[in-house]
Amino acid sequence: MNTSSAPTDCTRIRRLAELASYEQASLHAVIDAAYLCHIAFQDAKGTHCIPTACWRQDGYLYIHGSNGGRLTKILTSGIQACVTITHLDGLVMARSAFNHAMNYRSAMIYGCFEKLGDEADKHLALAQFMEKLAPGRQAQCRPGNDKEMAATTVMRIALDEAAVKIRSGGPEDAEEDMDIPVWAGVLPLVQVHGEPIIDSLCSMAAPDYVRNWVR
């Protein structure tokens, strides 16, 4: 399903508006490729930008935190937040300094987080997070006990007010700059999976998600 939501006053992209997308599939792809997001919020001390782990399920982005943490306390108070995810894909080398750019995929989500109050919902959400990190691992490691679960808050924000901005491809120079004798193209940046590092005290054989980690 690739529905779209109309841009709001906050999510309407004005700079380089031709790079904007309000399609659900694009939004989900940007979120699903990420392990972390940056969350902006305001409290009595000012405006803050905090990185935290995230995952998606259906039309929500989820995060979790310690009950005692500032992020948890503030976000569950119902204030407006802005969640941004950015993947940097490359440096774009144009013939003119001014036309240099970056290739990227980014998503911005506006809204308020809600706390998952139901214990079963919380367990399910955390299991889905683990499934994203390491498929099948949830059944292997020790699950959270009552004390650990009680100390953890899971929150989610609806993806209703969101926008995606993507730049890809090579430089776009003006006609009159095309003969400038300088290399032009893209210097790609790629996030790759490195060779798994087994804990020195672990003697277990590597499960699928470890053996398949380096793709």
Name which of residues 121 to 180 contact its own copies (CB under 8 A).
126, 130, 133-134, 137-138, 140-145, 148, 152, 170-171, 177-178, 180
**153 strand-pairing partners:** 65
Under rule CB under 8 A, residue 95 binds its own copies = yes
DSSP state of 78: T
In the set 20, 61, 75, 82, which binds its own copies (CB under 8 A)? 82
Stretch that binds its own copies, among 17-25, 54-62, 79-87, 113-121 (CB under 8 A): 79-87
**20 strand-pairing partners:** 165
CA distances for 162 relative to 4, 15, 18, 157, angstroms: 10, 16, 16, 11
Count of residues that interact with its own copies, criterion CB under 8 A: 90
CA distances for 69 relative to 50, 55, 64, 105, 155, angstroms: 12, 19, 10, 30, 13
Q: How far is CA 26 from the centre of its chain?
A: 12
- Scanning residues 22 to 61, which ones bind its own copies (CB under 8 A)? 35-36, 38-42, 45-51, 53
Stretch that binds its own copies, among 23-31, 55-63, 81-89, 114-122 (CB under 8 A): 81-89
**209 strand-pairing partners:** none
Under rule CB under 8 A, residue 73 binds its own copies = no
Smallest distance from the beta carbon of 1 to its own copies, in angstroms?
27
